[in-house]
Structure formats: structure tokens, C-alpha cells
Amino acid sequence: MTAASTLDSIQKMPLSKGITAGLRKAMEEDSKVVLIGEDIGKLGGVFRVTEGIQKDFGEQRVIDAPLAESGIVGTAIGMAIRGYRPVVEIQFDAFVFPAYDQIVTQLAKLHARTRGKLNVPVVIRIPYGGGIGSPEHHSESPETVFAHHAGLKIMTPSNANDAYWMIQEAIKSPDPVIFFEPKRQYWLRGDVDLENPATTAYSAQIARPGKDCTLVAYGPLVPQALDAAAAAAEEGVDLEVIDLRGLNPIDFPVIEESVKKTGRLVVAHEAPVFLGLGSEIAARISERCFYHLEAPVLRVGAPHAPYPGSKLEQHYLPDLDRILDAVDRAMDF
């Protein structure tokens, strides 16, 4: 929030409704913004993020699509080439894979393939992560799969204010954006400044300053990272928490500056540790901050195994204890 904010411009709302408000604002400002997805019109989507928007903007701009993700994304690509700004909703994270070919072989590459002649401003909204009692295909974290492909920007908010501003930034981007929404945080309420934009979506933010160890998280695990910092403070350890926000590109300078101060780094995410985003961060920081590190870069995440049934997900997902254990190990060096 900035000093120019007024009480009238600040509203408290859940993260999901921050996205709703951001979509509405984008549609009001640009008639070329079109929403398309399964059950997003009359139903308002599985998580009711688009609730009421079709009633206000009509069926031509909020389109209920067949259950065919590949066809939805392919249609969105064609609409973008013709000048529209389609926003696709994928109902659940792993439902995106029928559209994987369209995303990585067409959407991600058309700008380069045409030597810059075509821009394809498609936003693909994907609720992701666990913690809501759902099984595989409804609780997965596929962000690294898409971050590996050049040509796709990737962002993920962790709070309502970021959700409101980041979805608008995604829609205005000339490039395709994968917008990962942490579904377990959909109901997390926070202040949204409707007048003063947050910093650019690809700038990592210091969510909590500290001096002893840097803890990097994004999306679903940012609240837990802040809880870990509060718990560590009771033991005399001052954690600096960084909310990554942008997953491609990653704001490495903010992480580097923090690690040069603290000398230690723990990266936490819901996705499996094996080849997760933490692997890239660990490698880059080890290269760039080698002489500043007082301990190895440690990673916290899920095991390299299929997502379990809902009764077992608490054993699969990284929790407060696993984050604090990694912090303890880093501090013991």
C-alpha cells in the first residue's frame, strides 16, 4: 500500500475475489478481453471466481466451453491472433495436460516462430496445489513443467492484493502468461488497494525482513513461510521471507541480495523437490553467492511420488515442521 491510498480505495476480500475484481476491471477497460472455460458462465466456475461476470458482460465475452482443454486453448490462440485477449480457466491443475501440446508447441513458440510478427496475449488461469482434500489431478503443482518452456511468463499471487493487480498485469501482457492460483489460499482474506498498483508481478517481495536465514516461497506456501518465521523468532532465529511472485522470469537479484546478507537459504514449495523450482534457485544462488553462503542451500517440498488420496495429503505436503527442520539444519552449519 502507498501513502496515497485512501480508506475508500482499500477493501478487504478473499484472494479469489481479488482475481474476480481484477478480471472485471480488465474487462471494463478493454472490450477485447474475453473469458473462456468450462462452467465459468452461469455456474461461475468450480471455485466461483467468475461468478456473476457473465450476467454483467454477456455470453459473448464469458464463454462456457465444452470439456475439451486442448480445444479451449487452441480456440484462445486463434482469438488472440485476431486481436482478442482471451483468459482461459482450467478447472484444476492437472486438467491442463490435454492442452499441453497447444501450450508448449504453439502458444509458447508463435512469437519466436514468426520472428516477432505475432503476439499471442493469452492468459491461462490454473488453480493449483493441495490442501483442500482432493485427490490427484485436483491437487498437483505443475509449475516447473511450464517454466521449462521459453516463451511463457508465469506468475502466482499469495494474497488478495497481488491477485487483483497481477491478473490485470497478466491480461495486459503481449506475451502468453500462465497464472497459477493457490487454491488453498482462495479464502485467505486481505486488504486490496483498488487504486494504487502493487509492484510488477515479476518482482520478488520481501514479505518479512530478517538477518539470519533467507526463506523463499511462493503461492500456497507463503503464509506457512511467514508462520515459520514467527515460530523461528521464538527460538531467536530471524528469518527473511521472500515471496517470489514471478516464476518465469525469477527475480534472482532480490534473492541474491538477501542471501549475501543472511548467508543461508531455504527454498520451500508444494511441488516435489526432485527437479522442482527450488533446484534452479539452489543452483543459481550456489553459483552467484558461493563465497557468501555459510551453509548449503536447502530445499523443502513434496516427495517424488504421485499425489496421494486426501487422507494422506498432510504427509505429502510440506508443513511448518518440515520448513523449520530445514531452517534448523541450515543454522547448524
Write down the pLDDT at residue 86: 98
Write down the pLDDT at residue 238: 97
Write down the pLDDT at residue 199: 83
Write down the pLDDT at residue 136: 85
Contacts of 116 (CB under 8 A, 6+ apart): none
Cα separation, 58 vs 186, whole angstroms: 25
Write down the pLDDT at residue 5: 55
What the chain holds in terms of domains, given with CATH numbers, is 11-193 (3.40.50.970), 205-332 (3.40.50.920)
Q: Write out the three cell numbers for 191.
A: 486488504
- The neighbouring-strand residues paired with 125 are 89, 179
Contacts of 166 (CB under 8 A, 6+ apart): 22, 155, 157, 179, 198, 201, 245
Q: Which parts of the chain sit beneath pLDDT 50? A: 1
Is 138 a catalytic site residue?
yes
Catalytic residue from among 111, 137, 138, 269:
138
Give the tens place of pLDDT for each residue, 93-113. Answer: 999 999 999 999 999 999 999
Residue 271: C-alpha distances to residues 81, 89, 207, 215 (Å): 33, 21, 21, 16
Confidence (pTM): 0.95
Write down the pLDDT at residue 4: 52
